Amino acid sequence: MKHLTLKVLIFFLCILSISCSEKEDNKLIGQIIGSVAGAYLGSKVGDGMVGNLTTVLGGTVGFLIGGKIVDILDSEEQSDLNNAINQTLTKNPDNVSNKWKSQKNIDTNAEIIPLNSYKIDQNTCRDFTKIVKKGEKQVQEKSTACRDEKGNWKII
């Protein structure tokens, strides 16, 4: 039941994000997705009161981080970075980073560092860190991606 609820929520957020065209809308969607992902990951830690606290904490941290990359990258750069993340997760062993550079802005780049691989419900998953830099701004974010039924990486 939890997995069905999560899939319905992710589907709803994807549809909502497609309909948003303003940068502020995209930032809000990023914050919502970050919050949901953080809460989901937080819920996997501990039971009872500890589990509840980590869920709330994970959701809060995800909300704060989720909108920051939208502030730094435009939609084309976000898409290019996502392609680099997919390549890195597919090809690179643990702790072997990959560099990404924006085609539009010479002062915009990122480093993607895959950390570890494991299984969740028989799906291959990987934790990774991405460090995005644009001029003086820098955002570091730890994320988790899992392969879907078709073998594509999806950030959870």
137-147 β-sheet, strand order: 98-101, 108-120, 123-134, 137-147, 153-155
Half-sphere exposure of 99 (CA within 13 A, CB side): 4
Residue ranges of the chain with per-residue pLDDT less than 50: 1-2, 4, 8, 12-13, 15-16, 18-21, 23-24, 27, 63-65
pLDDT value at position 130? 94
Do 110 and 87 lie in a common domain? Answer: yes
Determine contact, residues 112/140, Cβ cutoff 8 Å. no
Which among 66, 90, 112 is the end of a domain? 66
Do 77 and 28 lie in a common domain? Answer: no
Do 50 and 113 lie in a common domain? Answer: no
> What pLDDT digit, counting tens, does each position of 104-124 carry?
989 999 999 999 999 988 889
Structural domain for 34, as ranges: 1-66
Tally of domains in the chain:
2
Single out the residue of 79, 81, 112 nearest to residue 98, CA to CA. Answer: 112
Do 106 and 156 lie in a common domain? Answer: yes
